């Protein structure tokens, strides 16, 4: 069984690696339409799914990262690459267009300022290996 350390991951907007990323998460899901009739004794569903995906990226705030953090402004539609293993040969990565829905900045005394980008997928999430 393979394990992966969090230090391997990275996030890209297009071909540009987002600076100072400290973590990211994403969820992919499928929605099915119920097609249960009155005579059925158990719920049934149409097997055609509508898929969706969403997630967030957290980083130390870097306003000079114009092709990464600054490009993920609220309302932006970006080409997002989520690479939990990195981008070495054979590594799995996920990609698709994403709409940036929300940005949160966390400022605390004695700590590095963090920024979190929330997003929803705008189309299909694809999986590939490097």
Query: d(Cα 120, Cα 89) in Å, to the nearest integer?
Result: 28
Contact 79, 13 (CB under 8 A): yes
Q: Is residue 46 predicted with pLDDT exceeding 60?
A: yes
CA distance to 32, 33, 37, 53, 60, per residue, from 47 (Å): 7, 8, 15, 19, 42
Tokens of 13: 């907007």
- Half-sphere exposure of 53 toward its Cβ, with a 13 Å CA cutoff? 20
Contact 123, 96 (CB under 8 A): yes
Would the CA dihedral through 66, 73, 10, 116 be positive or negative? positive
User: What value does the mean pLDDT of the chain take?
Assistant: 94
pLDDT at 4: 73
Query: d(Cα 115, Cα 21) in Å, to the nearest integer?
Result: 9
pLDDT at 86: 86
pTM: 0.89
Those residues whose C-beta lies under 8 Å from the C-beta of residue 45, and which sit 6 or more positions away, are 32, 33, 34, 35
Q: Is residue 8 predicted with pLDDT exceeding 90?
A: no
């Amino acid at each position: 069984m393979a394990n992966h350390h969090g230090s391997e991951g990275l996030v890209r907007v297009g071909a540009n690696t987002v600076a100072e990323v400290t973590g990211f998460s994403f969820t992919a899901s499928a929605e099915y339409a119920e097609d249960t009739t009155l005579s059925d004794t158990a719920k049934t569903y149409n097997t055609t799914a509508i898929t969706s995906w969403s997630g967030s990226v957290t980083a130390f705030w870097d306003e000079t990262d114009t092709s990464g953090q600054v490009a993920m402004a609220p309302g932006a539609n970006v080409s997002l690459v989520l690479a939990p293993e990195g981008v070495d040969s054979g590594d799995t990565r996920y990609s698709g267009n994403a709409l940036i829905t929300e940005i949160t900045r966390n400022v605390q005394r004695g700590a590095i300022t963090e920024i979190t980008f929330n997003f929803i997928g705008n189309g299909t999430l694809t999986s590939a290996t490097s």
